[in-house]
Structure 1
Amino acid sequence: MKNVQPKPHSASARSCTKVHKKGIALGRSVDLTKFSGYDELIAKLDQLLEFGGELTSPKKDWLIVYTDNEGDMMLVGDDPWPEFCAMACKMYIYPKEEIQKMTPGTLS
Protein backbone atom coordinates (compact mmCIF):
# COMPACT_ATOMS: atom_id res chain seq x y z
CA MET A 1 0.00 0.00 0.00
CA LYS A 2 1.53 3.30 -1.12
CA ASN A 3 0.93 6.52 0.72
CA VAL A 4 1.82 9.15 -1.86
CA GLN A 5 1.65 12.79 -0.91
CA PRO A 6 0.88 15.17 -3.78
CA LYS A 7 3.67 17.64 -4.49
CA PRO A 8 2.81 21.33 -4.53
CA HIS A 9 2.89 22.92 -8.00
CA SER A 10 4.89 25.99 -7.13
CA ALA A 11 8.38 27.32 -7.63
CA SER A 12 9.20 26.31 -4.05
CA ALA A 13 8.39 22.61 -4.61
CA ARG A 14 12.13 21.90 -4.81
CA SER A 15 13.64 23.25 -1.63
CA CYS A 16 17.34 23.06 -2.53
CA THR A 17 19.33 23.33 -5.73
CA LYS A 18 22.76 21.70 -6.03
CA VAL A 19 25.72 23.89 -7.02
CA HIS A 20 28.99 22.48 -8.37
CA LYS A 21 32.24 24.41 -8.80
CA LYS A 22 34.62 23.22 -11.52
CA GLY A 23 37.52 21.35 -9.94
CA ILE A 24 35.77 20.64 -6.63
CA ALA A 25 34.34 17.16 -6.08
CA LEU A 26 31.70 18.10 -3.52
CA GLY A 27 28.85 20.40 -4.40
CA ARG A 28 26.79 22.60 -2.13
CA SER A 29 23.03 23.04 -1.89
CA VAL A 30 21.24 26.37 -1.76
CA ASP A 31 17.60 27.09 -1.06
CA LEU A 32 16.55 29.55 -3.77
CA THR A 33 13.49 30.59 -1.74
CA LYS A 34 15.86 32.28 0.76
CA PHE A 35 16.97 34.86 -1.84
CA SER A 36 15.09 37.77 -3.39
CA GLY A 37 17.19 37.91 -6.56
CA TYR A 38 20.38 37.10 -8.41
CA ASP A 39 22.60 39.53 -6.46
CA GLU A 40 21.86 37.79 -3.15
CA LEU A 41 22.32 34.33 -4.68
CA ILE A 42 25.65 35.20 -6.29
CA ALA A 43 26.94 36.82 -3.07
CA LYS A 44 26.01 33.66 -1.13
CA LEU A 45 27.69 31.38 -3.70
CA ASP A 46 30.80 33.58 -3.56
CA GLN A 47 30.90 33.10 0.22
CA LEU A 48 29.93 29.39 0.29
CA LEU A 49 32.46 28.35 -2.32
CA GLU A 50 35.20 30.70 -1.07
CA PHE A 51 35.66 32.80 -4.20
CA GLY A 52 36.84 35.81 -2.20
CA GLY A 53 34.70 38.27 -4.16
CA GLU A 54 35.48 36.89 -7.64
CA LEU A 55 31.85 36.02 -8.40
CA THR A 56 30.62 39.50 -7.47
CA SER A 57 33.47 41.38 -9.16
CA PRO A 58 32.71 43.35 -12.36
CA LYS A 59 35.69 41.56 -14.02
CA LYS A 60 34.54 38.00 -13.46
CA ASP A 61 36.78 35.06 -14.34
CA TRP A 62 34.00 32.62 -13.42
CA LEU A 63 30.45 32.28 -14.75
CA ILE A 64 27.44 30.52 -13.27
CA VAL A 65 25.25 28.37 -15.49
CA TYR A 66 22.27 26.18 -14.71
CA THR A 67 20.47 23.22 -16.21
CA ASP A 68 16.71 23.08 -16.47
CA ASN A 69 14.45 20.03 -16.36
CA GLU A 70 15.12 19.39 -20.07
CA GLY A 71 18.89 19.39 -19.56
CA ASP A 72 19.42 22.70 -21.37
CA MET A 73 22.25 24.81 -19.98
CA MET A 74 21.82 28.57 -19.64
CA LEU A 75 23.60 31.48 -17.98
CA VAL A 76 22.35 32.47 -14.55
CA GLY A 77 20.78 35.92 -14.80
CA ASP A 78 19.29 35.58 -18.29
CA ASP A 79 15.76 34.83 -17.06
CA PRO A 80 13.47 36.70 -14.67
CA TRP A 81 14.17 35.54 -11.09
CA PRO A 82 10.84 33.68 -10.53
CA GLU A 83 11.26 31.75 -13.81
CA PHE A 84 14.84 30.85 -12.91
CA CYS A 85 13.73 29.57 -9.48
CA ALA A 86 11.08 27.39 -11.11
CA MET A 87 13.40 26.02 -13.83
CA ALA A 88 16.84 25.59 -12.23
CA CYS A 89 17.70 21.97 -11.46
CA LYS A 90 21.47 22.28 -10.92
CA MET A 91 23.98 25.11 -11.10
CA TYR A 92 27.58 24.92 -12.22
CA ILE A 93 30.36 27.46 -11.82
CA TYR A 94 32.95 27.32 -14.59
CA PRO A 95 35.94 29.45 -15.57
CA LYS A 96 34.84 32.07 -18.12
CA GLU A 97 37.10 30.67 -20.87
CA GLU A 98 35.56 27.21 -20.47
CA ILE A 99 32.05 28.64 -20.97
CA GLN A 100 33.24 30.44 -24.10
CA LYS A 101 34.51 27.11 -25.54
CA MET A 102 31.17 25.36 -25.11
CA THR A 103 29.48 24.56 -28.38
CA PRO A 104 26.42 26.53 -29.48
CA GLY A 105 23.37 24.65 -28.33
CA THR A 106 25.10 23.47 -25.17
CA LEU A 107 24.58 26.93 -23.76
CA SER A 108 21.34 28.65 -24.74
Structure 2
Amino acid sequence: MDEDAPPQKRLKAPEVAIKVQMQGIAVVRAVNLTTLDGYDQLVDELEKMFDIKGQLQNKNKWVVLYADDDGDTILVGDEPWPEFCQVVRRILICSSQAVHY
Protein backbone atom coordinates (compact mmCIF):
# COMPACT_ATOMS: atom_id res chain seq x y z
CA MET A 1 0.00 0.00 0.00
CA ASP A 2 1.31 3.49 -0.86
CA GLU A 3 1.50 5.25 2.52
CA ASP A 4 2.33 8.62 0.88
CA ALA A 5 -0.84 8.65 -1.23
CA PRO A 6 -3.88 10.57 0.01
CA PRO A 7 -6.32 8.29 1.91
CA GLN A 8 -8.83 8.14 -0.97
CA LYS A 9 -6.05 7.06 -3.39
CA ARG A 10 -4.68 4.22 -1.27
CA LEU A 11 -5.61 0.79 -2.55
CA LYS A 12 -6.67 -1.74 0.02
CA ALA A 13 -4.90 -5.04 -0.07
CA PRO A 14 -7.44 -7.77 -0.76
CA GLU A 15 -8.33 -10.00 2.16
CA VAL A 16 -6.62 -13.35 1.81
CA ALA A 17 -9.12 -15.56 3.65
CA ILE A 18 -12.73 -14.54 3.08
CA LYS A 19 -15.26 -16.05 5.49
CA VAL A 20 -18.07 -18.02 3.87
CA GLN A 21 -21.35 -18.67 5.69
CA MET A 22 -24.06 -20.93 4.29
CA GLN A 23 -27.62 -20.60 5.56
CA GLY A 24 -28.48 -23.51 7.84
CA ILE A 25 -24.85 -24.46 8.53
CA ALA A 26 -23.31 -23.31 11.81
CA VAL A 27 -19.67 -23.67 10.77
CA VAL A 28 -18.12 -20.71 8.96
CA ARG A 29 -15.52 -21.65 6.35
CA ALA A 30 -13.00 -19.57 4.40
CA VAL A 31 -11.93 -19.24 0.79
CA ASN A 32 -8.67 -17.77 -0.52
CA LEU A 33 -9.59 -15.55 -3.48
CA THR A 34 -5.94 -15.12 -4.52
CA THR A 35 -5.94 -18.73 -5.76
CA LEU A 36 -8.97 -18.16 -8.01
CA ASP A 37 -9.21 -16.53 -11.44
CA GLY A 38 -12.86 -15.50 -11.48
CA TYR A 39 -16.45 -16.13 -10.51
CA ASP A 40 -16.67 -19.55 -12.18
CA GLN A 41 -13.81 -20.86 -10.06
CA LEU A 42 -15.32 -19.25 -6.95
CA VAL A 43 -18.66 -20.99 -7.52
CA ASP A 44 -16.89 -24.32 -8.15
CA GLU A 45 -14.90 -23.91 -4.93
CA LEU A 46 -18.00 -23.04 -2.89
CA GLU A 47 -19.91 -26.02 -4.30
CA LYS A 48 -17.05 -28.34 -3.29
CA MET A 49 -16.70 -26.70 0.12
CA PHE A 50 -20.35 -27.27 1.03
CA ASP A 51 -20.92 -30.45 -1.02
CA ILE A 52 -23.63 -28.85 -3.18
CA LYS A 53 -22.24 -29.62 -6.64
CA GLY A 54 -24.27 -27.93 -9.38
CA GLN A 55 -26.61 -26.08 -7.01
CA LEU A 56 -25.08 -22.59 -7.23
CA GLN A 57 -24.95 -22.19 -11.01
CA ASN A 58 -28.67 -21.88 -11.71
CA LYS A 59 -29.73 -19.99 -8.54
CA ASN A 60 -32.89 -22.11 -8.20
CA LYS A 61 -32.00 -23.34 -4.71
CA TRP A 62 -29.12 -21.15 -3.49
CA VAL A 63 -27.92 -17.60 -4.18
CA VAL A 64 -24.38 -16.35 -3.49
CA LEU A 65 -24.15 -12.87 -1.98
CA TYR A 66 -21.32 -10.88 -0.46
CA ALA A 67 -20.96 -8.16 2.14
CA ASP A 68 -18.68 -5.24 1.29
CA ASP A 69 -16.82 -2.64 3.39
CA ASP A 70 -20.02 -0.65 3.94
CA GLY A 71 -21.95 -3.71 5.10
CA ASP A 72 -24.07 -3.74 1.94
CA THR A 73 -25.13 -7.17 0.70
CA ILE A 74 -24.72 -7.59 -3.06
CA LEU A 75 -25.28 -10.43 -5.52
CA VAL A 76 -21.97 -12.12 -6.43
CA GLY A 77 -21.10 -11.37 -10.06
CA ASP A 78 -22.41 -7.80 -10.12
CA GLU A 79 -18.87 -6.34 -10.00
CA PRO A 80 -15.87 -7.09 -12.20
CA TRP A 81 -13.75 -9.78 -10.51
CA PRO A 82 -10.79 -7.51 -9.55
CA GLU A 83 -13.14 -4.99 -7.89
CA PHE A 84 -15.00 -7.78 -6.10
CA CYS A 85 -11.71 -9.07 -4.67
CA GLN A 86 -10.94 -5.59 -3.32
CA VAL A 87 -14.28 -4.97 -1.57
CA VAL A 88 -15.58 -8.39 -0.44
CA ARG A 89 -15.46 -8.99 3.31
CA ARG A 90 -17.79 -11.98 3.69
CA ILE A 91 -19.55 -14.39 1.32
CA LEU A 92 -23.05 -15.63 2.10
CA ILE A 93 -24.89 -18.57 0.53
CA CYS A 94 -28.61 -18.10 1.11
CA SER A 95 -31.74 -19.93 0.09
CA SER A 96 -33.11 -18.41 -3.12
CA GLN A 97 -36.49 -18.24 -1.37
CA ALA A 98 -35.02 -15.94 1.30
CA VAL A 99 -33.46 -13.50 -1.19
CA HIS A 100 -35.38 -10.95 -3.21
CA TYR A 101 -33.30 -9.70 -6.14
Structure 1-normalised TM-score?
A: 0.78
Whole-Å separation in 1 of the counterparts to 2:46 and 2:79: 18
Contact 2:59–2:96 under 8 Å retained in 1: no
Give, in angstroms, the shift of residue 47 of structure 1: 0.5
Whole-Å separation in 2 of the counterparts to 1:93 and 1:59: 10
Aligned to 1:60: 60
Unaligned runs of 5+ in 2: 4-9
Q: Judging changes above 3 Å, is the alpha-carbon distance between structure 1 residues 59 and 10 closer, same or farther for their aligned structure 2 residues?
A: closer
Whole-Å separation in 1 of the counterparts to 2:78 and 2:40: 13
AA of the residue aligned to 1:27: V
Superposition pairs for residues 1-108 of structure 1, below 5 Å? 9-12=11-14, 14-56=15-57, 58=58, 60-100=60-100
Instruction: State, as a whole percentage, how many aligned pairs show the same letter.
Output: 37
AA of the residue aligned to 1:96: S
Unaligned runs of 5+ in 1: 1-5, 101-106
Aligned residues: 93
Q: CA RMSD in A?
A: 1.9
